[in-house]
Amino acid sequence: MVNPSSRPNLSHSPARLSRVQAIALGCLSALMLMLAGPIQGAIAAPLTCRTVEGHRQCLVDVQRSAKNHREYRAIVSIDGIEQGRTLYDCQRRIRIGRDRRPQPFQAQGPGPWICTLLDR
């Protein structure tokens, strides 16, 4: 039979509590770092903005096509409202939105502006 007084009492050991605290702190730090990425992406600052006819147009995100170097997928916000990801084809001067129908660039729209900014 084991003598109860000879077994160490680990439940109140100061070293055991600090190890548990260190593990808990490490897990909390890892969780915060994992959540910080998507939160920062959701609050993205615009790359550049301009004002046209009293409306503020901002380029929020842009990706260049690997296959067609004059095509851009961009998210534009107008007066702070994001318009959704749209394909801008600078060679054919058309944009393709969510409805997947090609539409010609508007004179004061974001299409010509995006093309002049990025086709350099």
The residues spanned by each domain of the chain are 14-42, 48-118
Question: Given this model, what pLDDT does residue 41 score?
Answer: 43
Bridge partners, 52 (sequence order):
55
Residue linked to tokens 């010509």? 112
Residue 42 CA from chain centroid, whole number: 5
Question: Given this model, what pLDDT does residue 10 score?
Answer: 54
Q: Answer whether 90's CB lies under 8 Å from 105's CB.
A: no
Pinpoint the alpha helices (H) of 43-118: 110-118
Residue 92 CA from chain centroid, whole number: 29
3-state helix, strand, coil in the chain (%, to 5): 35, 30, 30
Question: Given this model, what pLDDT does residue 39 score?
Answer: 44
Q: What average pLDDT is seen over the chain?
A: 79
Residue 64 structure tokens: 């260049």
Q: Which of 73, 119, 79, 81 minimizes the C-alpha distance to 98?
A: 73
State mean pLDDT over 85-111.
93
